Homo-oligomer: A and B are copies of this chain.
Amino acid sequence: MPKRSAPRPTDAELEILNVLWQRGACTVRDVHRAISRTKPATGYTTILKLMQIMAEKELVRRDESQRAHVYEARLAREQTQRQLIGDLLERAFDGSATKLVMQALSAKKTSAEELSTIREMLDEFERGES
């Protein structure tokens, strides 16, 4: 058995990953402080436990050489984003990237700048792939 790939992170796990992606390797304390800013009523041990579980699931790597262990996201943010998008694509969009893009644009008012950025992306994509 080759060791199965990382599972889809849960909501709470994703919040933690967001901190790790934004600030790089962190201690539990760091993550707790960051999350406290937006969700003040979150206990320290709650974050700790979640991060321990994430280490078991291999969503994060843990450096135990210091007393305060240092955690780091195992996958790049973009990789996880692709995983989540791919998952949603299958579960809710019948695999149609076109429909997904369409709903993405109407889910959020998209500015003219963003639209042209996307257009450029499409150009590059067409050159690179296809």
Question: A residues engaging B (CB < 8 A)?
Answer: 11, 14-15, 18, 78, 80-86, 88-89, 91-95, 97-112, 114-115, 117-119, 121-122, 125-126, 129-130
User: Is A97 in contact with B105, judged by CB distance below 8 angstroms?
Assistant: yes
- A11 and B7 alpha carbons, distance in the complex (Å): 14
Some 27 contacts from A to B, beta carbons below 8 A apart, are: A14-B91, A15-B91, A80-B92, A81-B103, A82-B107, A83-B107, A84-B88, A84-B92, A85-B88, A85-B103, A85-B104, A86-B108, A89-B104, A95-B108, A97-B104, A98-B118, A101-B101, A101-B104, A102-B118, A102-B121, A104-B104, A106-B125, A111-B130, A112-B130, A115-B130, A119-B119, A122-B122
Task: Indicate the member of A14, A82, A118, A129 with the most B CB atoms within 10 Å.
Answer: A118
Given contacts A85-B88, A101-B105, A105-B121, 9 further A-B contacts (CB under 8 A): A11-B91, A80-B92, A85-B104, A98-B117, A110-B125, A110-B129, A112-B130, A119-B122, A122-B122
